[in-house]
Amino acid sequence: MAVLLAGAAWACLIGWFIARAVRQFRAHRAVSLQRSDRAGAALGSVAIIVPARNEAANIGKCLAGLSAQRGLPAESSITIIDDESQDATQEIAREAASADPRISVIEAGPLPAGWLGKPHACWRGAYSVTADWLCFIDADVRAAPELVAAAVAAAEREGIDMLSLTPFQELGSFWERLIVPAGLVLIACTKDLRRIDDPASSEVTANGQFILIRRAVYFAVGGHAAVRGEVCEDKALAARVKAAGYRFRLLGAEHLASTRMYRDLASLWEGFSKNATEIMGDGVSTVGAASLAMAIGWAALALPSLAINIATGQPSLASVAGAIVALLGSLAGLGIQIGTARHFRLPVAYGLLFPFAYTAVAALAWHSVGLRRDGRVTWKGRTYEIHRKA
């Protein structure tokens, strides 16, 4: 009987996670941006702002996509904010500017005390332009020609004051393919998209890779100056927008934009360690969720084997049924991981490695909490002193 109860409990737990994942996936699909969103719309002017530090590998392709944007008013512009890059970022950007009069390049200048690099670059960009909408796009984003117009049209049609989009995540190296999908599944299972988009809820999550905000609203809430010391400045800015009574939305844009955030384990580890605690909300939530995911990942392998061994040694209808139920629960969980791998266009084998993936995510989460406890993070050659969090 104990085997049956354990198997049933395990199956119920896996079923709950699957139901939550499916609900999140359906909610995400229901609020995805489409190319047709811009059809027939008369749009306000847009100032596209690209903060860039050491982005020589990305800035050329990013600007090629932004130069190809269609459906925007003639007065719209593209501004690159070079944040003291130590590579060829500025040279590549200026070469693109020479071929497109809409593109301009300005230098962010020395980083003031108390500021992180990206908020400072975004703030400098916002102050250098005039438009109805400010559109902050990271240098590693590849935009389809309809992206910005579709975003502005959707925001104007639905009365959205700040819109954040999630591009498709391109994954190249082994470590990207192993860790990024597991991390994103963990975030998706702990965040409720319906509450994020609910004006009455204080819950908020944003993606700084693409943020569109009305210029008047941006300055009304203090812009990036108000979140100058925040590691997740995108989430902090969205929280200020919601708290001020403006409308914020998070939409999917996988068909209109893609990004490759990291290219090796070192940059992935540094980037996610910097952000993980802020994304999850606090240290307890971060290590708790990641450690639970790791435990469930290994239990998916161990529990069916244990139940089968018990049922084989002490055969009874209850023990055999419990072993079968435990096995079915683990297979269902495996199906979710394989489905995730297929969503990211990865070989199915990566879905089979999920226990190792969630173990790496847990290690990363613990490291992130340690950094926040010490009050120091490193990113792109800079070390920032930040507020310590227990």
Indicate if 239 and 137 belong to the same structural domain: yes
C-alpha span between 335 and 21 (Å, rounded): 12
Whether 252 and 32 have beta carbons less than 8 Å apart is answered as yes
Indicate if 251 and 327 belong to the same structural domain: no
Indicate if 131 and 20 belong to the same structural domain: no
Decide if 271 is inside a domain.
Answer: no
> What number is the average pLDDT over the span 327-334?
78
Residue 252, strand partner residues: 32, 166
Q: Which residues 6+ apart lie within 8 Å of 15 measured at CB?
A: 329, 332
Angle at 44 between CA 39 and CA 48, to 5 degrees: 100
Decide if 17 is inside a domain.
Answer: yes
Decide if 180 is inside a domain.
Answer: no
Indicate if 366 and 343 belong to the same structural domain: yes
C-alpha span between 350 and 326 (Å, rounded): 22
Query: What pTM value is reported for the model?
Result: 0.87
Taking alpha carbons only, the member of 329, 322, 340 closest to residue 301 is: 329
C-alpha span between 360 and 22 (Å, rounded): 24
- For residue 329, what are the domain limits? 2-24+283-385
Indicate if 19 and 54 belong to the same structural domain: no
If 0-12 CB within 10 Å is exposed, 13-18 middle and 19+ buried, where does residue 325 land?
A: buried
CATH number at residue 83: 3.90.550.10
Q: Which residues 6+ apart lie within 8 Å of 311 measured at CB?
A: 3, 319, 320, 322, 323
Decide if 371 is inside a domain.
Answer: yes
Confidence tier at 390 by pLDDT (50, 70, 90): very low
pLDDT tops 60 at residue 130? yes
Across 13-22, 31-40, 134-143, 270-279, which has the greatest mean pLDDT?
A: 134-143
What are 63's two structure tokens?
């600007």
Decide if 199 is inside a domain.
Answer: no
Decide if 346 is inside a domain.
Answer: yes
Whether 170 and 258 have beta carbons less than 8 Å apart is answered as yes
Give me the number of domains the chain comprises.
2
Decide if 182 is inside a domain.
Answer: no
Indicate if 302 and 162 belong to the same structural domain: no
Q: pLDDT tens digits, residue range 204-254? A: 888 899 999 999 999 999 999 999 988 889 999 999 999 999 999 999 898
Q: pLDDT tens digits, residue range 344-354? A: 999 999 988 98
